């Protein structure tokens, strides 16, 4: 009997927002990661904070409060939320250089690294960081 390896993915905040759009166009490999039965999907609690900031700054308009939007997204998609634990927060301070200056992106990268997850993102800096071998990434 062949053992199937579970693939584990964490979504970056922009991918969450994009995925919530009705006509989101997603790269084929990312779509496959979403649709395969063998995959586990996660988001970081830091994404709730980042969504709140985007709404507060007027850079994102939602039809409900940020916390309701976040809760609805994870419930609807059946996604687990990973805590921004002390070990992840500290690890985000000691990532190999050069790394993204955005604290939320650093925490997302540390979350992926600490939990052996592939980070699904469109962020070019994170994709380049992945290409350098510092984190597993999947372009969406």
Distance from the Cα of residue 20 to its chain's centroid: 13
pLDDT tens for 32-87 read: 888 888 899 999 999 999 999 999 999 999 999 999 999 999 999 999 999 999 99
Contact residues for 37 (Cβ-Cβ < 8 A; gap 6+) = none
* Phi, psi dihedral angles at 26 (to 5 degrees): -120, 140
What's the pTM value of the predicted model, to 2 decimals? 0.91
Half-sphere exposure (CA, 13 Å, Cβ side) for 60? 21
Contact residues for 90 (Cβ-Cβ < 8 A; gap 6+) = none
pLDDT tens for 20-30 read: 988 888 888 88
Spatial separation of the C-alpha atoms in residues 131 and 135, rounded to whole Å:
8
Domains and CATH numbers, the chain: 7-20+27-139 (3.40.50.1010)
């Amino acid at each position: 009997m062949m053992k199937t390896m579970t693939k584990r993915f964490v979504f970056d905040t922009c991918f969450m927002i994009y995925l919530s759009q009705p006509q989101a166009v997603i790269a084929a490999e990312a779509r496959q990661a979403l649709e395969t039965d063998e995959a586990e999907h996660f988001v970081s609690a830091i994404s709730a904070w980042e969504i709140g900031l985007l709404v507060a700054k007027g850079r994102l308009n939602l039809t409900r409060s940020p916390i309701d939007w976040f809760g609805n997204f994870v419930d609807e998609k059946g996604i687990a939320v990973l805590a921004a634990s002390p070990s992840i927060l500290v690890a985000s301070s000691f990532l190999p250089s050069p790394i993204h200056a955005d604290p939320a992106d650093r925490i997302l990268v540390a979350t992926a690294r600490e939990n052996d997850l592939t980070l699904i993102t469109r962020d070019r800096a994170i994709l380049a960081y992945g290409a350098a071998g510092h984190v597993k990434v999947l372009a969406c």
